[in-house]
């Protein structure tokens, strides 16, 4: 900075070191110029080109020698498609400071690319023609021209404005909106752009969003890698060559992120949810089947219990029927016995009474049974005894045991009954009971031949040798064993009516039919 | 409401590249410093008088 008065280079002092001129105002003017330049630079960085032009023009009004401000102003003009204005600023800048001025480089670059300069020049001429067409009422031709212009020179903001105005005039508001949005991307705060957009918004009733679809934080703003840098003095202005919502790399990155996030969502959310759903359904099925099985098992168990109960009931009913049958039979036999007893046919009465089971009778019936039984006891006794003997002779040892047993119950002191019973036991192979009965005989008839004979039989069963007497006695007794059916002399010899009657005197009701039964009693007694 | 005709009047024809020279020459480059210098010169002349 030189002194206005003498041209001397000024220092930090407020006065000129040579002439002492008060340089406060001069310094303030330079300071204001620089401040406007800085503000204009900030505006240019955020693509507020209209604001930048205004501030830079003010800066140059304070100090026309502010080279950075002038170069930046040229850049901003160039960015807005106004190449002539830009060249003017750069030419002036180059004239003010011919050396070390970046404006010279800008001019050289533009001139070296003649094709581009030619295109710019053509678009400017076409724009002027289009403007004339509009003024002459040939807006259709003007619009065709303007569309070509914005294609050839996408930064020509005036062409966008004129095209948008024509669209608005033709009520093609959406087309106007698209064109104005493109213009807004070049210059965010252009008053014409904003005014036309407001008009479109009012007419369509829809607010125009100037924000990028993907947001300005990530793409399309800031310092891109491929952005052109123009060094204007001490400051650097970054102006992207073209405005893009997103680069190819960003799109691919987005796709990659989307795929990864999608895969993660599927892996961490969808797959576990699906697995859980399948498991839950399987568990529900298992529970259902378990419940069904438990229910069926319970029903089966219940039915088995019912079957068992039914079987028991059937068995009980069968037993009751059987018992009832026996009871009926007993009663029938009791009636038969009673009828026979009334007719004094004691034999038949005894036969019928034999088949009566006294345990099944009622109290009254049992009283009748006892009464008849007492009266025909001897008859019944003889019947049992005779039946036993006959059965023994016929080899029916079961009856031969059963009948004498009943007789023994009636009178346990009758030798004949005991002897046949013992023999029947012996011959049926039941030696134990046979010995028991033989011992009973020995006990009851101790010291007699009957006891000796019984002892002999016991010894034979036990395999012990006996003396001669016993043997003979056995021989005599044995006659009744095998040869009784032949009617040998033994029977006749032993038959002694007097002795027999005396022996069987216990049978008070003996009717003499048993006289011949005491075949060996007399002999033994006499001995 | 935008008036088409009125808006058209606001649009000025652009200078083409051939007209840069004339545009440069026609530029008014006067700044505050020039005004200050002029004021000083005027003051100096008054003092001499």
Is the domain of A413 the same as that of A274?
no
Choose, out of A57, A88, A159, the residue to mutate when testing the contact with B (most B CBs < 10 Å): A88
The beta-carbon neighbor of B17 closest among A83, A162, A195 is A83
Asked whether A88 and B24 are in contact (CB, 8 A), the reply is yes
pLDDT at A76 (0 to 100)? 93
Most confident of A292-306, A409-423, A459-473, A483-497: A292-306
* Ramachandran sector of residue B12 (left: φ over 0; alpha: ψ -120 to 50; beta: rest): beta
3-class DSSP assignment, residue A327:
helix
Enclosing H/E stretch for A232: strand A228-232
**Does any CB of chain A come closer than 8 Å to the CB of residue B3?**
no
Average pLDDT over every residue of A268-275: 90
pLDDT more than 70, % of chain A: 81
B37 vs A contacts (CB less than 8 Å) = 4
Each residue's pLDDT tens digit, A404-435: 888 888 888 888 899 999 999 999 888 899 99
Q: Which two tokens stand for residue B35?
A: 């005004």
pLDDT digits (tens, 9 = 90+) for A88-119: 999 999 999 998 899 999 999 888 888 888 88
A419 and A358 within one domain: no
- Phi/psi of residue A188, each to 5°? -70, -35
Residue B6 near chain A (CB below 8 Å): no
pLDDT, averaged across chain B? 86
Statement to judge: residues A392 and A444 lie in one domain: yes
Q: Which residue of B has its CA nearest to A128?
A: B13
Distance CA A30, CA A66 (A): 9
Q: Which residues of B touch A135 (CB under 8 A)?
A: 8
Q: Does residue B7 lie within any of the structural domains?
A: no
Please report, for the domain that includes residue A474, its CATH number: 1.25.40.10
Q: Which residue has the higher pLDDT, A148 or A16?
A: A148
The 10s digit of each residue's pLDDT in A190-239 is 888 999 999 899 888 888 877 655 544 444 444 444 334 444 444 445 44
DSSP per-residue codes, A358-426: GGGS-HHHHHHHHHHHHHTHHHHHHHHHHHHHHHHHTT-HHHHHHHHHHHHHH-TT-HHHHHHHHHHHH
Per-residue confidence (pLDDT) for residue A210, from 0 to 100: 73
Into how many domains does chain A fold?
3
B44 part of a folded domain: yes
Where are the alpha helices (H) located in A394-507, listed in sequence order?
397-410, 415-427, 431-444, 449-462, 468-482, 489-494, 497-503
Q: In this predicted model, which residue has the larger pLDDT, A487 or A347? A: A347
pLDDT tens, residue by residue, A34-87: 999 999 999 999 888 989 999 999 999 999 999 999 999 999 999 988 888 898
> What is the number of other CB atoms lying within 10 angstroms of the CB of residue A318?
10
A127: which chain B residues are within 8 Å (Cβ-Cβ)? Answer: 13-14
Within a domain: B19: yes
Residue A360 forms part of a structural domain: yes
Is residue A260 pLDDT above 80, yes or no? Answer: yes
Q: Number of residue pairs across A and B with CB atoms under 8 Å?
A: 86
Could you tell me if residue B36 is inside a domain?
yes
Report the alpha-carbon distance of residue A527 to residue B20 in Å, rounded: 188
Q: What is the CA radius of gyration of chain A?
A: 75
Q: Please give the residue of chain A at the shortest CA–CA distance from B13.
A: A128
According to DSSP, residue A270 is labeled I
Of residues A35, A101, A115, A48, the one with CA closest to residue A79:
A48
Q: What was the pLDDT predicted at B15?
A: 84
In a shared domain, residues A362 and A383 = no
Whether residue B20 lies within 8 A of chain A, CB to CB, comes out as yes
Chain A residues bordering chain B (beta-carbon distance below 8 Å) = 4-5, 25-26, 29, 60-65, 82-85, 87-88, 91-92, 117, 120-121, 124-125, 127-128, 131, 134-135, 158, 161-162, 165, 168-169, 192, 195-196, 199
Tell me the three state secondary structure of residue A228.
strand
Query: Do the beta carbons of residue A58 and residue A48 sit within 8 Å?
Result: no
Residue B3 lies in a domain: no
Residues A278 and A404 in one domain: no
Task: Please judge whether B8 and A135 are an interchain contact, meaning their C-beta atoms are less than 8 angstroms apart.
Answer: yes
Contact B42, A147 (CB under 8 A): no
Of A25, A117, A128, Cβ closest to residue B14: A128
Mutate to test the interface with A, among B32, B37, B47 (most CBs of A within 10 A): B32
User: Residue B39 is part of which domain span?
Assistant: 13-48
Query: Which pLDDT value is given to residue A211?
Result: 67
Among candidates B14, B29, B36 on the partner chain, residue whose Cβ is nearest the Cβ of A84: B14
A277 and A362 belong to one structural domain:
yes
Residues A352, A383, single domain; the answer is: no
Instruction: Give the pLDDT band of residue A521 (cuts 50, 70, 90).
Output: very low
Mutate to test the interface with A, among B9, B31, B44, B47 (most CBs of A within 10 A): B31
Q: Which residues of B touch A83 (CB under 8 A)?
A: 17
Is A226 part of a structural domain of the chain?
Answer: no
Of these ranges, A40-44, A444-448, A463-467, the one predicted with the greatest mean pLDDT is A40-44
Report how far residue A300's alpha carbon sits from residue A295's, in angstroms, rounded to the nearest whole number: 9
Q: Is B35 on the interface with A (CB under 8 A)?
A: no
Output the six-digit token pair for A106: 């800008």
pTM higher than 0.90: no
Please say which residue of A321, A344, A375 terminates a domain. Answer: A375
Query: Do A262 and A305 share a structural domain?
Result: yes
In a domain, residue B18? The reply is yes
Range of the domain at A360: 248-375
Once rounded to an integer, what is the mean pLDDT over residues A7-13? 81
Q: How many domains does chain B have?
A: 1
ipTM: 0.87
A142 alpha-carbon distance from chain centroid: 75
CA distance A84 to chain B (A): 6
A414 and A497 in a single domain? The answer is yes
Q: What is the pLDDT of residue A491?
A: 35
Q: Tell me the three state secondary structure of residue A239.
A: strand
**Whether residues A395 and A520 fall in one domain:** yes
Q: What distance in Å separates the CA atoms of residue A178 and residue A155, rounded to the nearest whole number?
A: 15
Closest residue, chain A, to B15 (C-alpha): A84
Contact B31 A64 (CB under 8 A): yes
Tell if the CB–CB gap between B36 and A29 is shorter than 8 Å: yes
- Residues A387 and A450 reside in one and the same domain: yes
Gap from B45 CA to chain A (nearest CA, Å): 14
Give the HSE-up count for residue A186: Cα atoms under 13 Å, Cβ half-sphere.
Answer: 25
Rounded to the nearest angstrom, the minimum Cα separation between B14 and chain A is 6
Lowest mean pLDDT among A40-54, A128-142, A357-371, A372-386: A372-386
Confidence of residue A377 (pLDDT cuts 50, 70, 90): confident
Asked if A391 and A334 sit in the same domain, the reply is: no
Residue B29 counted as domain residue: yes
B2 inside domain: no
């Amino acid at each position: 900075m030189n002194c206005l008065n003498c041209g001397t280079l000024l220092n930090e002092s407020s006065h000129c070191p040579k002439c002492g001129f008060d340089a406060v105002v001069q310094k303030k003017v330079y300071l204001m110029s620089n401040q406007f330049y800085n503000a204009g630079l900030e505006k240019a960085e955020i693509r507020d080109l209209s604001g930048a032009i205004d501030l830079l023009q003010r800066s140059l009004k304070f100090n026309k020698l502010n080279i950075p401000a002038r170069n930046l102003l040229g850049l901003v003009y160039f960015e807005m498609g106004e190449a002539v204005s830009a060249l003017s600023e750069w030419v002036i800048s180059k004239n003010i400071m011919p050396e070390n001025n970046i404006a010279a480089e800008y001019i050289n670059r533009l001139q070296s690319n003649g094709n581009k300069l030619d295109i710019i020049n053509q678009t400017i001429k076409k724009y002027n023609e289009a403007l004339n067409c509009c003024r002459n009422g040939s807006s259709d031709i003007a619009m065709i021209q303007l569309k070509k212009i914005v294609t050839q020179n996408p930064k020509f903001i005036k062409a966008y404005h004129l095209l948008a105005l024509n669209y608005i005039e033709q009520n093609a508001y959406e087309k106007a909106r698209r064109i104005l949005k493109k213009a807004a991307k070049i210059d965010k705060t252009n008053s014409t752009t904003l005014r036309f957009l407001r008009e479109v918004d009012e007419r369509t009733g829809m607010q125009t969003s100037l924000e990028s679809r993907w947001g300005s934080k990530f793409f399309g703003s800031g310092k891109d890698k491929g952005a052109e840098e123009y060094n204007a003095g001490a400051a650097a202005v970054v102006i992207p060559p073209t405005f893009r919502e997103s680069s190819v790399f960003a799109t691919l990155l987005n796709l990659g992120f989307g795929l990864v996030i999608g895969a993660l969502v599927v892996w961490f959310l969808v797959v576990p949810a699906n697995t859980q759903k399948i498991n839950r359904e399987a568990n529900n099925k298992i529970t259902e089947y378990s419940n069904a099985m438990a229910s069926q098992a319970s029903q089966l168990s219940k039915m088995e219990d019912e079957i068992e109960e039914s079987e028991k009931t059937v068995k009980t009913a069968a037993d009751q029927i059987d018992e009832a049958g026996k009871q009926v039979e007993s009663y029938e036999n009791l009636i038969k016995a009673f009828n026979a007893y009334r007719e004094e046919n004691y034999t038949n009465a005894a036969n019928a009474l034999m088949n009566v089971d006294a345990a099944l009778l009622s109290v009254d019936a049992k009283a009748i049974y006892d009464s008849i039984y007492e009266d025909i006891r001897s008859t019944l006794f003889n019947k049992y005894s005779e039946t036993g003997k006959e059965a023994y002779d016929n080899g029916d040892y079961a009856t031969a045991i059963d009948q004498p047993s009943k007789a023994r119950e009636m009178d346990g002191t009758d030798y004949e009954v005991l002897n046949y019973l013992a023999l029947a036991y012996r011959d049926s192979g039941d030696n134990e009971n046979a010995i028991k009965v033989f011992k009973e005989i020995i006990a009851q008839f101790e010291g007699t031949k009957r006891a000796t004979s019984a002892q002999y039989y016991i010894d034979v069963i036990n395999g012990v040798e006996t003396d001669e007497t016993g043997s003979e006695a056995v021989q005599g007794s044995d006659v009744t064993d095998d040869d009784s059916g032949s009617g040998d002399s033994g029977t006749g010899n032993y038959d002694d009516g007097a002795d027999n009657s005396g022996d069987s005197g216990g049978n008070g009701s003996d009717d003499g039919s048993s006289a011949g039964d005491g075949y060996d009693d007399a002999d033994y007694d006499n001995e | 409401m935008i008036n088409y005709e009125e808006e058209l009047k606001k649009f000025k024809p652009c200078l083409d590249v051939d007209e840069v020279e004339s545009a440069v020459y026609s530029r008014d480059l006067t700044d505050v410093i020039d005004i200050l210098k002029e004021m000083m010169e005027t003051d100096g002349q008054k003092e001499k008088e």
